[in-house]
Amino acid sequence: MKQKERKIKKSDNVQLNKKKKAGRKSKSKKASDKKIIDKNKNKYDKQTKFAIIIMFLLIVSVLAGHWIIQESNKFEYKDLEFYRTDEGGLIVYRSLLGYATAGGETVPFVLKLRNSPKELEKIPINANITLDKKKVVLSLSPEIANCSNTTRSIMDASITFKAFGREVSAATTDEDFHEENDVPLIDCGDSVDKNVIIIKEGIKTRIKEDKTEVTNIIITSSGRRTEIKNRNCYIIEVANCEIQEAYERFILDFIANSVRK
């Protein structure tokens, strides 16, 4: 009987030892698994941090590269800040300006030129361009009207002048063209109450001012008085259909003399 009890006790001890060993193995395995998980987590955290740093450096480098390119394409011309930009293969020179509305609010306006302001300086100007009248008439000769880029240039001019508070209309200097196309006939003699810009064909592209004095007789209730004024007329002579270049040279001088003062 005692021998049987000893066998049972021994068997129980064996089972208990097995359970203890199994428990130790389980704890050891859990500890090992935890170490592996912690190791993987640390590795993942390091990879994540590294990826974030790389992304940050890429963003900074892209922004820095963009800023460097922008700065390298920036220049000043007569106190105007220009940026040289590529718009689908077309090089454009932009300047952010502002004009005041009737309510006193400043509205941004982007001046876009297709020619470099520095290159446009080659076109001579013998005029002080102010456009002090509200109305502006662009009066074209038939030869200029037939140039391929005239429509685009006149549209650009109209948008720009309107942005600075001028009312723009078109006319012609040729009587036959006036009658055939029902277009107003206007020349420098009509420039007393409006700004007239004559655009005609010339041997050389240049801009000048008609400084002819005009005598006006003004009748009032107190009598008559004579007033002598200069014509508000500018003449743009265009060679080889360089109307875009001539218009841009004109608008730059107008902004420098009137808008930026």
Per-residue model confidence (pLDDT) at position 213? 62
38-64 pLDDT per residue, tens: 555 555 566 676 667 767 666 655 554
User: DSSP strand E in the chain: where?
Assistant: 74-77, 80-87, 90-100, 106-113, 125-126, 135-140, 167-172, 195-201, 206-210, 213-220, 223-230, 233-238
75-131 pLDDT per residue, tens: 788 788 888 888 888 888 988 886 555 455 666 788 889 999 989 999 999 988 888
pTM for the complete prediction?
A: 0.67
177-223 pLDDT per residue, tens: 888 888 999 998 888 788 999 999 999 999 999 877 655 555 556 65
- Of the chain, the end-to-end C-alpha distance in Å amounts to 123
Burial environment of residue 208 by CB neighbours within 10 A (0 to 12, 13 to 18, 19 or more)? middle
Band of pLDDT at residue 4, cut at 50, 70 and 90: very low
CA distance 4 to 252: 118
Residue type, 222: S
Per-residue model confidence (pLDDT) at position 212? 74
Band of pLDDT at residue 235, cut at 50, 70 and 90: very high
pLDDT over threshold 90, residue 239: yes
